Amino acid sequence: MKTLKDAKVGETVTVARLHGEGAVKRRIMDMGITKGVQIYLRKVAPLGDPMELNVRGYELSVRKEDAEMIELV
């Protein structure tokens, strides 16, 4: 299973499904990350956390912990 945490900088990936439950899953969905959406990984901080993404035309920073909950196609 490949997750967003495994994606490389400069790569565009597609979300297959979200893991996690409750408030955490709801927060991820509220950020616009839903099944089928494409995500472009712009950059990763020097220590690996957070990751800067481009989702639905806007910039978003996500922690590695949350990125592990986003399964890719």
- pLDDT, mean of residues 15-35: 91
Q: What is the DSSP string of 7-72?
A: PPTT-EEEEEEE---HHHHHHHHHTT--TT-EEEEEEE-TTS-SEEEEETTEEEEE-HHHHTTEEE
Enter the tokens of residue 73: 């196609």
Residue 1 has pLDDT above 90, yes or no: no
The parent domain of residue 10 ranges over 4-72
pLDDT > 90 in the chain, percent: 77
Enter the tokens of residue 23: 């408030």
Average per-residue pLDDT for the chain: 92
What confidence tens digit (pLDDT) does each residue in 32-53 have? 999 999 999 999 998 878 999 9
Kind plus residue range of the DSSP H or E element containing 24 = helix 22-30
CATH number at residue 51: 2.30.30.90
pLDDT at residue 21, rounded to an integer: 86
How many domains does the chain contain in total?
A: 1
